[in-house]
Chains A and B, each alone.
Chain A
Amino acid sequence: MSLCAQSISLELGGKPVITQLDIQLDPAKIVTISGPNGAGKSSLLRVLTGEWTPSSGNVSMDSVQIENCSIRKIAQSLAVMPQHSSLNFAFSCEEVVELGRTPHATGTKIDREIAHSALESVDGDQLAKRLYTELSGGEKQRVQLARVLAQIWQPEPGQSRYLLLDEPTASFDLAHQRLTLDVLRRLASEGVGILVVMHDLNLAAQLADTMVLMKQGRIMTTGQAEHVMQASLIREVFDVDVSIVKHPRHGRPSALL
């Protein structure tokens, strides 16, 4: 049981975006992907979800090739939170979160309850009746997070659950960054496999079971935070000098500019 990409390569318009890349996402684990802009992180997400077909290599979910799964079946176990959302119709927030239940046939009543709990879990219960189009960027992002949480709130029988997020904390204030980390941790403890694209190395180091650093479509290094967060590796990937210190509370490595 895992979401697995084996030696995938992707070319867009003749230019290589991902080259010979292997990655595996196991249930109950959190993998973070960081890297400079244009490293191919978002493209990797699209390949992993089956939205784009790799030029070579293959992607499988729970040992089934992803192109052989129906779109609906994938959606029942795999939720994706995009970096930007383009919704400009005046749905209320609870309606947006209920859209997350689209692939399931659990009935309106259960869907409502799940949407409500999902909104609550991202500190959004007071947003429920407000119009999505009138929210601030951070509030919208929280509602979108609730939507993908609702999508994989409970497992379909015999299916595992995966959550892929592209920069989920980008527009969050500190309290909601903290909240997001806690929510993702709790989901992982329930058995959800989580892959997060994250620019903030320190948040990533705090969250990840496995950190991945990407550059130019390749994985430069991967492993536990202590292994990845080294000044020399970060210099190689991001081309900046940092000092690594231990976080005074939880002891995870942090990079200081």
Chain B
Amino acid sequence: MLIASRKLSPTTLITMLVVLLPAALLVALLTGPIFISPFDLFEIYFRPTESGNIQEQMILSSIRLPRLLLGCFIGISLSICGAAMQGLFRNPLADPSLIGVTSGASAGASCVIVLGGVWLEQAAFGLPLVAFGASVGGLIAVVIVYRIATSATGTSVATMLLAGIAISAVAGALNNLFSYFADNDMLRRISLWQMGSLDGANWQRVTIAAIVALTLIVVLPRLSVALNALLLGESEARHLGIDVERLKRMLIILTAIGVGSSVALAGVIAFIGLVVPHIVRLLIGPDHRYVIPASALAGAILLVLADSLARIIVAPAELPTGILTALLGAPVFFSLLAQQRSLRSGAV
């Protein structure tokens, strides 16, 4: 039976999302400055020379396909890391950036943009130097936060939150410092990077994002029962047989990898990690066994659709994706919150 205030049963929502994801991917594949008809898709992709569509085939295989796959995998990583962080902090408003990854990565990227000079376009490990700087920055931030919050008696989540805020402040200051010394071109690069965009998509990036997303999809659901118990409190979870220290360590490492790599690959895409799990929870309740897969699917759909819009809304130019994820996600979030409030006041 359905709980009164929940809109959907978990299976209904997950089924809907499983149907919607391929539809969203198809829409993203077809839309753009050049629209491709769904009926020609097969012809264009598999028989480009015969049908005289070599240019369209190029657009599909080297621009749109990697881009939508990158969006799909990053959407998955960001949203399930968000679900994991909200579980870890036992706060539905926690955000993956709380542990300092995002701000650390931003500072790292700005540092490279400003100081990188002539090497800026060079690649390291298949990634542009900026992405490399972001990974290093994010990693340093997480390590510092984790070190500060961990003592002989375990990892304190409250201290970690404060340390995350402190490290974000430091990273923000560094960011401003680099921006202050940057010239106009660098400034534009920094601010565009902080809005997040999938426009740098290529198959190398897709591969990295896919490995990370698949790792998270395989590992996090195994922790969902433990995460449910953790919502009761740390000692309660322990009394239910959960190794809480190990759980916290795993969650922090996985989130650092998930968010760090996403920021490195596509800049700061705001909002998804915070709002997608939250929306899912409002619809089907907080059970992580369903919240994690549903968030993964919904995150992928939201990011892929937002990116399609970003490509056509001001075509032939394009908007940074991060702007659209917020613009698309926020109204859904608002309406759910409003409904939830009216439901509550109706019940009392």
Judge: A and B partners, yes or no. yes
**Interface with A: B184-192, B257-265, B281-289, B293-301, which one?**
B281-289
20 A-B contact pairs sorted by A residue (CB < 8 Å): A46-B235, A73-B241, A75-B238, A75-B241, A75-B242, A76-B241, A85-B232, A86-B232, A89-B92, A91-B285, A92-B3, A102-B228, A102-B229, A102-B241, A102-B242, A129-B1, A129-B3, A131-B3, A134-B344, A151-B240
Residue of B nearest to A93 (CB): B3
How many residues in A have their beta carbons less than 8 Å from beta carbons of B? 31
Query: In this assembly, does B118 line the interface, its C-beta being within 8 Å of a C-beta of chain A?
Result: no
Which of A72, A91, A134 contacts B241, CB < 8 Å? A72
B166 at the interface (CB under 8 A from A): no
Q: How far apart are A97's CB and chain B's nearest CB, in angstroms?
A: 11
Q: Which residue of B lies closest to A72 (CB)?
A: B241
In the assembled complex, the CB of A82 is this many whole angstroms from the nearest CB of chain B, namely: 6
**Contact call B240/A75, Cβ cutoff below 8 A:** yes
Is A100 an interface position by the 8 A CB rule?
A: yes
Chain B residue contacts of A51, Cβ below 8 A: 235, 238-239
A44 at the interface (CB under 8 A from B): no
A19 to chain B, nearest CB (A): 21
- Taking a contact as CB atoms under 8 Å apart, the answer to whether A75 and B1 are in contact is no
Which chain B residues (228-264) contact chain A, with CB distance < 8 Å? 228-229, 231-233, 235-236, 238-243
B238: chain A residues within 8 A (beta carbon): 51, 71, 75
Q: Check if B218 is an interface residue, CB within 8 A of chain A.
A: no
Given A87-B231, A91-B285, 13 new contacts (CB under 8 A)? A71-B241, A71-B242, A79-B239, A82-B235, A86-B90, A89-B281, A90-B281, A91-B287, A95-B287, A99-B232, A103-B240, A129-B1, A129-B3
Residue numbers of B with Cβ under 8 A of A are 1, 3-5, 90-92, 225, 228-229, 231-233, 235-236, 238-243, 281, 285-287, 344, 347
Interface check A78, CB cutoff 8 A = yes
Q: Does A88 contact B (CB under 8 A)?
A: yes
Partner of A99, one of B92, B228, B285: B228
Who on chain A is nearest to B288 by CB?
Answer: A89
Q: A residues within 8 A CB of B1?
A: 129
Asked whether, in the complex, the Cβ of B286 is within 8 Å of the Cβ of A102, the reply is: no
Q: How far is the CA of A72 from the CA of B238 in the complex (A)?
A: 8
A74 at the interface (CB under 8 A from B): yes
Tell me whether B3 and A102 are in contact (CB under 8 A).
no
Q: Which 7 A-B pairs have the closest CB atoms?
A: A75-B241, A103-B241, A72-B241, A89-B286, A102-B240, A80-B239, A92-B3
Residues in A with CB closer than 8 Å to B229 are 99, 102
Chain B minimum-CB-distance residue to A129: B3
How many angstroms between the C-alpha atoms of A76 and B239 in the bound complex? 9
B residues in contact with A75, CB < 8 Å: 238-242
Q: Which residue of B lies closest to A79 (CB)?
A: B239
Residue picked from A51, A71, A95, A100, most chain B C-beta under 10 Å: A71
A32 lies within 8 A of chain B by Cβ: no
B286 x A71 contact (CB < 8 A): no
Q: How far is the CB of A229 from chain B (nearest CB, A)?
A: 31
Give bound CA distance, A51 to B234, whole Å: 10
Q: How far is the CA of A100 from the CA of B285 in the complex (A)?
A: 18
In the bound complex, residues from chain A placing their C-beta under 8 Å from that of B239 are 49, 51, 75, 78-80
Q: Which residues of A sit under 8 angstroms from B90, Cβ to Cβ? A: 86-89
Q: Which of A46, A86, A131, A151 contacts B233 (CB 8 A)?
A: A86
Q: Are A95 and B240 in contact (CB under 8 A)?
A: no
Q: A92 to B232, Cβ gap below 8 A?
A: no
A151 closest partner in B (C-beta):
B240
A71 contacts B243, C-beta separation under 8 Å: yes
Q: When A75-B239, A102-B229, A102-B241 are in contact, do A131 and B287 touch as well, CB less than 8 Å?
A: no
Partner pick for B286 among A80, A90, A151, CB 8 A cutoff: A90
* Cβ–Cβ < 8 Å partners of A72 in chain B: 241
B residues near A102, Cβ cutoff 8 Å = 225, 228-229, 240-242
Q: Which residue of B lies closest to A74 (CB)?
A: B241
List A contacts of B286 (CB < 8 A). 89-91
